[in-house]
């Protein structure tokens, strides 16, 4: 490897053919100029290839021969021949672009497909065109499923299809295969009418390589040039007019994050629709096509000439502020401590900043809203009946308890969106690469796990970015160990109730424990059912850091908050009704009548009490808690709604008013939780609370996540995963409590 900061020429990567091809698609081709920049936490390096930054593991670097200290050039090469898997040719008529998959465009509307390499702004552009709120993020692999929407241009409806990012049409992963299938492997009548190829100006060569493959199949094409600001910061300027003239297709520069230039894209697409479909642009005639590597070499050379003719440097190659930040963020010494410090700060800000509002909303629902609902029911002549119990102790107590955590979720979503949009979270895969390799996974497998910190369902889908089927299976089974945002309100409630002002640190500890449980679960699977899984060396495209756009942050935060509210007003209402119905039903004759029975003597209480002894060794064998965990199988938010319901039903009809709030003390429900944990643990609420949180962290995925797992890996592996989750979580909880009570 050449010295840091000294450019050298890549001679011959001694790697498997598929690895060589992916390196070539990232810019690391034979003959290309590579500049080692700095070492990373995983033992590898970040290298520069033109304006591209790629994190490369030491195992890959050791097989990349570099010679001399060349001046930067645009020369290219091709991967050596080898056993490169052919593109998928499986028919997918059910998934063609013109199919009805829930889009709102009228039948027969022209279809515009957005295609591009990962992390070039496709989904951001899709949201800008259609008004959708598709998930976006500043890391490769954000989009792994097809998105559909409607775009109106001059009162003409267009159906827009957002395809997963692909480095080429020769797929190495499931998401790339899906893109190829929808563009190429369907009948011509089912292909999109226009393909908008999104090209990053900061790395135009990569996008133009994909464009040359797309044009070989003859669609109408419009090139969308994004990230011109990032390119300018790196000293690169693209001549849009010259590029359009050289390609013979429209080229439109846009900034979808700030909605600049988007209005110019519509007329360009309409003009393309009015033209007949062009002939395929092939490098070689069909009857004289050489081997695929000669074609690739010719394509790379053509792209290099095009780049030379249409771009210019405004200054010499230089390290950007992104490079300077990465020296610390991905450092072998500082990378992991900085990551932990940032996440600790996020959780401290979340818990401390939202605490006053959460406490205020708790008192609002427990006091005025609850009394008002009771008075309203009484005004219609149903006071004192089961209807009043359902409304006050069920809906208001259960749903209201979930809604009290809205300020907490807003702050958490905002801070995580800030980290995502800035590009920082993409570095997490580099920081934890060594840890992930210990369980047989590549560092980039951490990206789906990071998605899991928001919600496990899209995290399961995000495993499709992994090329190896065994890595996808292992990651899918480990996703439920990542602590989704639905668990956050429970962490805060229990943390505040038992640990007081240290609640933020407790929440942070749960996220660290989440990573440790992923490692533990991965080791168990590798030692038992998945012994053949071997780690893949990290090769990861690093996006540039960018200043977050306030409007983007607001949209992402609002979108995720709406998803939380839909859960609170959807599945939580159903679980609240089910819990209330079981709580109002006597468990045995003589326990009371429907709607007039104590919760402990109800069907819900009987089932919860029967399960409670299982958790006695972990210190939380109280029926309130075990009942909440049973409800949590449906949705983790339902844990606190279940607590709120059962505790509300236990309270007297006219409770004394709460005293003035004290930020250092837990709220009404928190105080009851603290009392139950103290009693069930024999006076050791701290270890019991920690054991409960660790069990909650990984005991089972929610129903939606299990459904996603079945779709990806089948019922058998999903059942194996759930069994592992329950077993590992129970053992960890028991171990923590039994050891903790000796000291606390």
Consult the annotation and say whether 141 binds a ligand.
yes
Helix, strand, coil shares of the chain as percentages rounded to 5?
A: 55, 10, 35
Work out whether strand 64-67 and strand 8-13 pair parallel, antiparallel, or are unpaired.
Answer: antiparallel
Query: Residue 67 gets which letter from DSSP?
Result: E
Say whether 123 counts as a known binding-site residue.
yes
Superfamily of the domain at 93-293: P-loop containing nucleotide triphosphate hydrolases (3.40.50.300)
Is 625 annotated as a binding-site member?
Answer: no
> How far, in Å, CA of 474 to CA of 454, rounded?
19
* 599 marked as binding residue: no
pLDDT band for 679, please (50, 70, 90 cuts).
Answer: very high
119 is in an annotated binding site: yes
Alpha carbon distances (Å) from 473 to 326, 366, 674: 31, 45, 39
Q: Give the phi and the psi of residue 352 in degrees, each rounded to 5.
A: -70, -40
Tell me, what's the pLDDT at 176? Answer: 87
Q: Is 574 annotated as a binding residue?
A: no
The two tokens of residue 57 are 């593991």
* Residue of 412, 400, 419, 420 lying closest to 351 (CA atoms): 412
Q: CB of 477 within 8 A of CB of 717?
A: yes
3-state secondary structure of 331: coil
User: Tens digits of per-residue pLDDT, 407-459?
Assistant: 999 999 999 889 888 888 888 888 888 888 888 888 778 888 888 888 898 88
286: pLDDT confidence band, cut at 50, 70 and 90? low
State whether residue 733 is helix, strand or coil: helix
Q: Minimal CA–CA distance to 270: which of 243, 250, 256, 253? A: 250
144 is in an annotated binding site: yes
For the stretch 119-155, pLDDT in tens is 898 988 999 999 887 766 655 656 667 888 999 998 8
138 known member of a binding site: no
**Which residues make Cβ contacts (< 8 Å) with residue 674, sequence separation at least 6?**
497, 498, 666, 685
Is 557 assigned to a binding site? no
Residue with more model confidence, 485 or 29: 485
Residue of higher predicted confidence among 70 and 85: 70
pLDDT of residue 293: 61
145 assigned to a ligand binding site: yes
Domain with CATH 2.30.30.90 in the chain: 8-72+318-328
Q: Which region among 74-83, 95-104, 384-393, 561-570 has the lowest average model confidence (pLDDT)?
A: 74-83
- Tell me: is residue 689 an annotated ligand-binding position: no
Rounded Cα distance, 709 and 475, in Å: 11
Q: What value does the mean pLDDT of the chain take?
A: 83
Cα–Cα distance, 525 to 522 (Å, whole number): 5
Average pLDDT over residues 160-182: 88
Indicate whether 12 pLDDT > 80.
Answer: no
Is 50 annotated as belonging to a binding site?
Answer: no
The answer to whether 142 is annotated as binding is yes
Q: Is 120 annotated as a binding residue?
A: yes
Sign, CA torsion 669/672/676/678: positive
pLDDT in tens, 145-163: 788 899 999 889 999 999 9
Determine the pLDDT at residue 104.
59
Residue 556 assigned ligand-binding role? no
Helix or strand run (H / E) with residue 129? helix 122-130
d(C-alpha 52, C-alpha 29), whole Å = 13
* Rounded CA separation 65/13 (Å): 6
Looking up tokens 């190495």 gives: 172
Cα separation, 744 vs 723, in Å, equals 31
pLDDT tens-digit map of 583-607: 888 988 877 788 788 888 899 999 9
Higher per-residue confidence, 698 vs 288: 698
What's the pLDDT score for residue 291?
60
**CATH superfamily assigned to domain 8-72+318-328:** Ferrous iron transport protein A (FeoA) (2.30.30.90)
Angle CA 612–617–618, to nearest 5: 85
pLDDT of 659 reads 42
Q: For residue 48, name the pLDDT band (cuts at 50, 70, 90).
A: confident
Tokens for 256?
């979808």
Q: Could you give the CA distance from residue 409 to residue 495 in angstroms, rounded to a whole number?
A: 16
118 in a labelled binding site: yes
Element (H, E) at 730: helix 715-740
């Amino acid at each position: 490897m050449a010295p840091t900061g000294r450019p050298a020429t890549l001679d011959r990567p001694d790697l498997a053919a598929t690895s060589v091809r992916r390196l070539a698609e990232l810019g690391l081709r034979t003959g290309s100029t590579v500049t080692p920049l700095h070492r990373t936490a995983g033992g590898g390096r970040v290298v520069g290839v033109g304006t591209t930054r790629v994190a490369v593991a030491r195992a890959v670097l050791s097989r990349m021969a570099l010679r001399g200290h060349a001046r930067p050039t645009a020369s290219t090469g091709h991967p050596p021949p080898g056993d490169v898997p052919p593109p998928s040719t499986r028919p997918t008529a059910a998934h063609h672009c013109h199919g009805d998959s829930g889009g709102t465009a009228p039948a027969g509307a022209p279809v515009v497909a957005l295609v591009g390499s990962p992390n070039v702004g496709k989904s951001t552009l899709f949201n800008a065109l259609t008004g959708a709120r598709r998930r976006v993020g500043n890391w490769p692999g954000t989009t792994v499923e097809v998105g559909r929407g409607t775009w109106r241009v001059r009162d003409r409806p267009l159906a827009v299809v957002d395809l997963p990012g692909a480095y080429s049409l020769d797929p190495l992963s499931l998401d790339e295969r899906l893109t190829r299938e929808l563009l190429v492997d369907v009948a011509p009548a089912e292909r999109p009418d226009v393909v908008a190829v999104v090209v990053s100006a900061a790395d135009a060569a990569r996008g133009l390589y994909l464009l040359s493959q797309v044009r070989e199949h003859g669609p109408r094409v419009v090139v969308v040039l994004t990230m011109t600001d990032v390119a300018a910061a790196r000293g690169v300027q693209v001549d849009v007019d010259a590029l359009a003239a050289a390609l013979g297709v429209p080229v439109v520069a846009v900034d979808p994050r700030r909605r600049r230039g988007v209005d110019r894209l519509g007329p360009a697409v309409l003009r393309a629709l009015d033209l007949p479909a062009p002939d395929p642009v092939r490098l070689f005639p069909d009857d004289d096509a050489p081997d695929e590597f000669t074609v690739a070499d010719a394509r790379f050379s053509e792209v290099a000439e095009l780049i030379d003719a249409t771009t210019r440097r405004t200054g010499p190659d230089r390290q950007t502020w992104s490079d300077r930040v990465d020296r610390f963020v991905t450092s072998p010494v500082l990378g992991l401590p900085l990551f932990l410090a940032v996440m600790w700060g996020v959780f401290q800000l979340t818990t401390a900043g939202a605490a006053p509002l959460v406490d205020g909303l708790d008192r609002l629902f427990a006091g005025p809203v609850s009394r008002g609902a009771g008075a309203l029911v009484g005004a219609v002549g149903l006071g004192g009946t089961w209807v009043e119990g359902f409304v006050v102790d069920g809906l208001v107590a259960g749903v209201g308890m979930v809604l009290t955590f809205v300020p907490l979720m807003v702050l958490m979503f905002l801070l995580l969106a800030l980290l995502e949009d800035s590009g920082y979270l993409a570095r997490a895969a580099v920081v934890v690469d060594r840890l992930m390799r210990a369980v047989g996974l590549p560092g980039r497998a951490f990206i789906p796990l990071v998605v899991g910190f928001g919600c496990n369902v899209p995290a399961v889908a995000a495993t499709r970015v992994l090329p190896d089927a065994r890595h996808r299976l292992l990651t899918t089974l480990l996703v439920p160990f990542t602590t989704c945002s639905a668990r956050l309100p429970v962490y805060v409630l229990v943390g505040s109730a038992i640990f007081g002002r240290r609640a933020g640190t407790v929440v942070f500890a749960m996220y660290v424990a989440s990573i440790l449980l992923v490692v533990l679960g991965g080791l168990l699977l590798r030692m038992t059912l998945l012994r053949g899984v071997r780690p893949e060396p990290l090769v990861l495209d690093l996006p540039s850091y960018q200043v977050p756009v306030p409007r983007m942050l607001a949209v992402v935060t609002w979108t995720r908050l709406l998803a939380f509210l839909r859960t609170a007003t959807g599945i939580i209402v159903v679980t609240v009704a089910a819990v209330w119905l079981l709580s109002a039903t006597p468990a045995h004759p003589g326990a009371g009548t429907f709607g007039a029975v104590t919760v402990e003597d109800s069907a819900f209480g009987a089932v919860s009490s029967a399960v409670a002894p299982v958790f006695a060794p972990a210190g939380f064998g109280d029926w309130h808690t075990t009942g909440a965990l049973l409800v949590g199988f449906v949705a983790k938010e339902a844990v606190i709604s279940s607590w709120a319901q059962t505790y509300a039903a236990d309270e007297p009809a006219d409770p004394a008013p709460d005293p003035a709030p004290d930020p250092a003390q837990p709220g009404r429900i928190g105080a009851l939780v603290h009392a139950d944990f103290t009693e069930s643990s024999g006076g050791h609420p701290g270890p019991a609370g920690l054991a409960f949180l660790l069990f909650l962290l990984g005991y089972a995925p929610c129903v939606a996540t299990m459904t996603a797992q079945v779709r990806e890996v089948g019922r058998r592996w999903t059942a194996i995963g759930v069994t592992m989750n329950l077993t590992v979580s129970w053992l960890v909880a028991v171990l923590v409590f039994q050891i903790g009570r000796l000291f606390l």
